[in-house]
Chain A
């Protein structure tokens, strides 16, 4: 096993009185794609959002236990959440470009984090990000056009470019292809595969085939518990737990 980069130990999440995650112990390896799968309400998105403290936005949400990224406790009160989210970027289900130009969409994070010192450096960084997201060739001649003038698949890759621009260590993806057609999905999946050489990626997906295609590790959640985690090739061919088998094969269990 590779060295783990994100470590959850005894992680619990409550929404008010309702417990959404129960005693999660999960190691996520560096520069690999980990897929979180499970039926709706199983806690996979709650776990994903716990990693960059997106759940802090929900007042009744409470986390206890330990969650570390590269040895740093994410829920340490001293942690600057804005800085954390620069380190742990997120791509959402629906592409959500800002109502700005393609260039400004990518430049936005660089500006607010003060990551460039000149216009040239900014332009270089935007170009690098768009190239990393496999979008540069399609938009190089229209960087001033609005981000939302792009197709859905291009918009999602623009959001990925925006995320990678600030060079996070981790990219969280919450069903990033659910609003995309198969061609756009294939492009995003190909992109995810190329991004894993530089980033640790955690993806929530309802598509078993997608999880099998793009991830190296898969974690199956059910009713707020982590049922099984293992190499993707094992989980989808010969899972250890019957609950996992029932879920991935669409059985009543």
Chain B
């Protein structure tokens, strides 16, 4: 852990900003979990609530942006401080995109209501959702604790998500040719899996931001 600032107020402002990211992250994880549940147990009012809640997530993103902007203007941070002040903007942006995916998952639950096909793919999608939720939980912990080893581990875990997505795609293409009457349902499942694969990418981006905050090195630029 880095040393404290001479201005204790500055540390408090940074801590508050960090806490808001963690709060937003928790909400997004809950959104993902509940949207995934809606795929199995459809409840129209619950789906409406999930879709509407995305506006709250967007509001949290805007609030974090405003606070980061104010911190930068008032404190004129440098080096590690600058990265700590800028990173909430980037991380909140990734969380906002994950929130969008939770919303689109909930909307797709409406379209899948009453369609039972694609059981094996649904199991795998549930597995993907669980894995990305754990990855996101860990990415937020890596952020909270400036843990770059954990951030690195998350990047490695994303390969598993990518593989499941590929498996689902292959499985659904084969299934569509066998049972073309359920093609629409199978395509929805492909799109859902693709969405969770994108969530994995956003989580990896958060892990990259953590690495950059701590080391000053942008892995995306160096890889």
Query: CB within 8 Å of B: which residues of A?
Result: 208-209, 212, 236-239, 245-246, 248-253
Contacts and interface: CB of A to CB of B under 8 A. Distances in A.
Contacts of A252: 3-6
27 contacts: A209-B76, A212-B78, A236-B79, A237-B78, A237-B79, A238-B79, A238-B216, A238-B217, A239-B79, A245-B79, A248-B78, A248-B79, A249-B5, A249-B77, A249-B78, A249-B79, A249-B81, A250-B5, A250-B6, A250-B7, A250-B10, A251-B2, A251-B4, A251-B5, A251-B6, A252-B3, A252-B6
A251 B3 contact: yes
Chief secondary structure at chain B's binding surface:
loop
Contacts of B79: 236-239, 245, 248-249
A237 B7 contact: no
B176 to A, nearest CB: 51
Nearest to B7: A250
A250 B217 CA distance: 22
Contact of A246 (B3, B77, B217): B3
Contacts of A212: 78
Contacts of B216: 237-238
Nearest to B81: A249
B82 interface: yes
Nearest to A239: B79
B80 interface: yes
A56 to B, nearest CB: 36
Contacts of B3: 246, 251-253
B4 A249 contact: no
A114 B21 CA distance: 67
B222 to A, nearest CB: 13
A251 B3 CA distance: 6
Nearest to B8: A252
Contacts of A208: 76, 78
A145 B216 CA distance: 53
A107 B141 CA distance: 66
A220 B80 CA distance: 17
